[in-house]
Every structure is written in C-alpha cells, then in structure tokens.
Amino acid sequence: MTGSDDAVWSHAPDLAVVDSPERVVLLNLRRPAEPARILLGTAAEIWRTIDGERAQREVVERMASSYGVGPAEVLSDVVSFCVDLEHDGLLINRSLDARGTAEVGPSPGPGARHG
C-alpha cells in the first residue's frame, strides 16, 4: 500500500463528475470504454474531502472526526480507497509528482477545442 501521511491526493483531470447528496458518480474520460464509478456513503465523503491541497493525514483526521472515531481506525480505509482510485486513474498522488513521477495538472484533452 502506498500513500504516506504527507501524500496529497487530487482528483484526476478529465473526469466527468455528478455529485449529488446521496453519491458521487465518476466517469474517467481518458478511459471512455470503462463503466462509471459510483461512490456511496463514506467513499463519497472521502472524495469530497480530497481537494488537492490537504495532506492525506488531514483527510484521515477529518473523516475520523466526522465519524467520531480515532484516526487509526479509518487510516487503512482511506489509504486503500485512494490507492484503488489512483489505480483507476481517478485520483493522483501529488506527492509523487514532487518527485517527478506522477502526472498532474489539467490536461489539454484529446485535441484543441473546436474553434
């Protein structure tokens, strides 16, 4: 499992996202043949807490606080969620980018926008 306390996760570029009170539905436009990913409950909350600025430690603390449990109890869930979504191209570990190994930043998309 990757993702240190200092890891900063951000949403990948080129996602189509429908965020409703009940859930978050994600479509990775860079993998347009794949089905949409549906996040429910705490998964949706973690997604909303990730903002590309907060360190993983802060995300864990916020989730623990909102559920009234200790950080240790949610750490592995948060990390495995983030790693899983990173695998599907939905999240980016920006701390890896600092070492020059991850892809970040807005994508120009498949081509220039139509003029």
In the complex, the residues that contact other proteins under the rule CB under 8 A are 14-18, 20, 25, 27, 29, 32-33, 35-43, 46, 74, 77-78, 80-81, 84, 109-111, 113-114
HEC string of the chain equals CCCCCCCEEEECCCEEEEECCCEEEEEECCCCCCCCEEEEHHHHHHHHHCCCCCEHHHHHHHHHHHHCCCHHHHHHHHHHHHHHHHHCCCEEEHHHHHCCCCCCCCCCCCCCCCC
Shorter beta-carbon distance to other proteins: residue 14 or 58: 14
What minimum distance in Å lies between the beta carbon of 108 and other proteins?
10
Structure tokens at 10: 């951000």
What minimum distance in Å lies between the beta carbon of 77 and other proteins?
4
What minimum distance in Å lies between the beta carbon of 107 and other proteins?
11
Shorter beta-carbon distance to other proteins: residue 1 or 101: 1
Shorter beta-carbon distance to other proteins: residue 100 or 115: 115
Shorter beta-carbon distance to other proteins: residue 65 or 80: 80
Structure tokens at 20: 């409703």
Q: Are 79 and 1 in contact (CB under 8 A)?
A: yes
What minimum distance in Å lies between the beta carbon of 76 and other proteins?
9
